Chain A
């Protein structure tokens, strides 16, 4: 069970990941209902809550939902029925959930609802950089931001309590360096009895239905709430003021930590007043008025200039003439993450102090002299052999494929030598955009191949597949079914039949779904068997070309990391492989075309296996034309079974 420290006894100081601290904060505030779809950097919140729920006998209720929209709807439903609820997602997840999100502002709740949005500046694990505090402004939903991982627990707790007090949804916005930073956290009491997931629904169509007659009234009430909360957030316990110098630094969220340390590094603590802001939307009006009393104001925030623009608006409205600096004037960069060097530099210009050498003249990186190291498919990943077979099948039929790609480990197929991701848009986009490709790419050898993972298929692949069947889009949909959501750290999904807290659920069959929506050709391949994969691919591709209809091919083989864990747990050690140097001719297929990271090229071009990296998947033995790969000892058939079937375990 992951993140057990979430249940550490009260009164202790325990090192926790920001996300685990957030989970702890929710538990201390009496959370009853949690739903999420995994996404970096938000995932560990619900992983930790799952562990808690498992150990506390189902308190609170925790689920992995099928996608973010459903997660938010489920949490909203529970909150309407009086439960203290939360839904967690990565920044782009809120795009998926935007529809119920906007409605939730109008509806309000009877219990509490916190929507956690984990933003990822500089896109460490994301397709875009998106500051979801805009969503707060846009939907009239207040935003709480921890001012660093140091108070992530308190921020989560307070967000839930405030939501309960005002009966309105709140956003808890984190960023990567809050979510994935570990700090000592002081634990408080968890009121275990209050976590019981139990609600009561009070029928009242004037409250719970958004028909125009009610929605119009609610719109007016929402604006009244907004004006009121803009004032009342000034007393939010994590907001505060430090120092009394003439220069104002507004440290918003994590920006506060950079501001504080930068002032210390420059030795100007006495020359500045640091305003610590944990409620960036709406910017607390009384604090803004104090801040705007300074001649010069530096705003330090992670993401877009959301606080800065609000301050400028308030200054305009109040006729105040403070000079407000930050990102709009590029004193701080408008993209990427904050860094001490950036904040120290900006501040030094305002206080006229010499910054340390590393801030003005950072040593240059030798990066360009080194080979890049992008993430790659793991040694033993089922996708490697399958992509190898895919390229062979497409070449055999002399087709001109467009690989409509998607988001998951298989996105790494964008790299050489595979090149099997021509577009990557958003989750579900492979089949969705594939509909468009398929209708306009009409040449004889053109073929659209959508490649989607199992978790992504359940998340948002079914509706576009239905669309393809309905509209006769000639495309091949490949579902890479590795029985897990691998990219985000191996969560289960509806296909696995395992639920968040480890209990059994219904195991949805992708074949049945495909047949159910009317796909005429549904095939299953074994990605660890290159010949089988190639044969099935040829059959499916021919069907799409000849029948001009969609086909679905499901490649079923476990994520090797999950398989290895399952094997270790059962005391099975996979037998690794080695190269028989006499047989190896140095043709290079294995380390170039197949490209397993465990296979190295020797000086003489012959292959060599790194025993520290080999997982024993054995696929290299199938692709070597000279049978040069051999197991180091007798093979265990049990391992080959596990490789194909392993599922994540709680």
Chain B
């Protein structure tokens, strides 16, 4: 018997590694015998456009999460976190990268981080913000920021008992192969960042 569906929306800007993040979550669930279904965005939107990936764990048939029914929002970027915040259910959690990418359209007005955070807070039951991209740049590889977000989400309890650190590590091993080592390190870095963020 599968557990009730856990609905996770993963968002960000095309190219920030949302699909890999979703794949690792699904793999980590499967390792623990939990069903997973991941609806991805391919094609056009990967050119720096807005991206949403739907991840459903447990007893789920349909690929898409309806607005208002997500238990978790993971976002690699602040504007995109706000854009999809209406997917969140009331008692939900958002784990968001403290990183703002202004859309490169000339003359466009970009909201401030504070405005975006308060928009997300209106929807999310709780919100954890970590500087994943900044930390990833410090470690020399910006591409691992997505695994930092994953580590932070696990630390924050976003996945309940569906996935944990050890299944995530195994999943990274199987999805990322040669690049696993630095990504597992990023996973733990992310957890550390979340501990700091939650303490504050």
Interface residues of A (CB under 8 A from B): 13, 15, 17, 40-41, 124-125, 148-150, 177, 180-184, 254, 257-258, 260-261, 264, 337-341, 344, 356-359, 362-367, 369-378, 409, 412, 415-417, 487-489, 591-593, 595-597, 600-601, 610-613
Contacts and interface: CB of A to CB of B under 8 A. Distances in A.
A26 B44 CA distance: 27
Interface in B108-152: 108-111, 119, 123, 133, 137, 142
A340 B15 CA distance: 28
**3 interchain residue pairs of minimum CB distance:** A125-B43, A358-B68, A375-B49
A373 B62 contact: no
A364 B14 CA distance: 24
Interface in B1-34: 13-15, 22-23, 26-27, 30
A133 B199 CA distance: 56
A611 B137 contact: yes
Contacts of A149: 37, 63
Given A362-B68, A375-B46, A369 B103 contact: no
Given A181-B39, A362-B68, A489-B42, 10 more contacts: A15-B23, A124-B45, A181-B40, A182-B26, A184-B35, A487-B43, A488-B43, A591-B106, A593-B106, A612-B142
B172 interface: no
Contacts of B67: 341, 358, 362-363, 365
B61 A416 contact: no
Contacts of B14: 375
A254 B39 CA distance: 13
B66 A340 contact: yes
B13 A373 contact: yes
Interface string B97-111: 000011111111111
Is chain A's binding surface mostly helix, strand, loop or mixed?
loop
A183 B105 CA distance: 36
Interface of B: 13-15, 22-23, 26-27, 30, 35-50, 59-69, 79-80, 82-83, 85-86, 88-89, 101-111, 119, 123, 133, 137, 142
A592 B106 contact: yes
Contacts of B103: 371-374, 376
22 contacts: A41-B42, A177-B39, A177-B63, A180-B40, A182-B26, A184-B36, A264-B59, A339-B64, A340-B69, A357-B68, A358-B69, A359-B66, A363-B123, A370-B79, A371-B79, A372-B103, A373-B79, A375-B49, A376-B103, A412-B47, A600-B102, A612-B133
Contacts of A358: 66-69, 89
Given A41-B43, A370-B111, A258 B106 contact: no
Among B65, B102, B137, find the residue whose CB has the most chain A CB atoms closer than 10 A: B102
Given A366-B85, A371-B79, A373-B49, A183 B43 contact: no
Contact of B41 (A13, A124, A254, A338): A124
Nearest to A182: B38
Contact of A341 (B60, B63, B66, B86): B66
Contacts of B110: 371
A376 B48 contact: yes
Contacts of B142: 612
Contact of B64 (A13, A182, A337): A337
Contacts of A183: 36-38
A373 B102 CA distance: 9
A125 B42 contact: yes
Given A363-B123, A375-B45, A13 B40 contact: no
B36 A369 contact: no
Among B40, B64, B103, B104, find the residue whose CB has the most chain A CB atoms closer than 10 A: B104
Given A41-B42, A181-B39, A261 B105 contact: no
B62 A258 contact: yes
B30 A184 contact: yes
Contact of B82 (A254, A370, A417): A370
A487 B101 CA distance: 22
A373 B50 contact: yes
A18 B101 CA distance: 31
A216 B44 CA distance: 44
A293 B174 CA distance: 50
B50 to A, nearest CB: 4
A367 B101 CA distance: 16
B44 A124 contact: yes
A125 B61 contact: no
Contact of B111 (A15, A359, A364, A369): A369
A561 B88 CA distance: 34
Contacts of B85: 366
A344 B61 CA distance: 13
A585 B37 CA distance: 51
A385 to B, nearest CB: 15
A260 B61 contact: yes
Contacts of A376: 47-49, 103-105
B47 A370 contact: no
Nearest to B14: A375
A356 B5 CA distance: 15
B106 A367 contact: no
B199 to A, nearest CB: 27
Nearest to A14: B30
A258 B46 CA distance: 27
Contacts of B41: 124, 180
A348 to B, nearest CB: 13
Given A181-B37, A358-B69, A366-B119, A373 B80 contact: yes
Nearest to B26: A15
Contacts of B48: 373, 375-376, 378, 597
Nearest to A147: B61
A364 B87 CA distance: 9
A591 B104 CA distance: 8
B68 A261 contact: no
Given A182-B23, A372-B103, A611-B137, A363 B68 contact: yes
B105 A180 contact: no
A409 B106 contact: no
Contact of B61 (A180, A257, A339, A600): A257
Contacts of B26: 15, 182
B102 A362 contact: no
B43 A257 contact: no
A339 B66 CA distance: 7
B38 A181 contact: yes
Nearest to A362: B67
Nearest to A258: B62
Nearest to B89: A358
Contacts of A613: 101
A633 B47 CA distance: 28
B45 A125 contact: yes
A488 B49 CA distance: 15
A369 B111 CA distance: 9
Given A181-B39, A183-B37, A409-B47, A371 B63 contact: no
Contacts of A412: 47
Given A177-B64, A182-B23, A612 B105 contact: no
Contacts of B43: 40-41, 124-125, 487-489
B27 A15 contact: yes
Nearest to A13: B30
Nearest to A364: B86
B105 A415 contact: yes
Contacts of B42: 40-41, 124-125, 180, 489
Given A340-B69, A373-B13, A415-B105, A15 B30 contact: yes
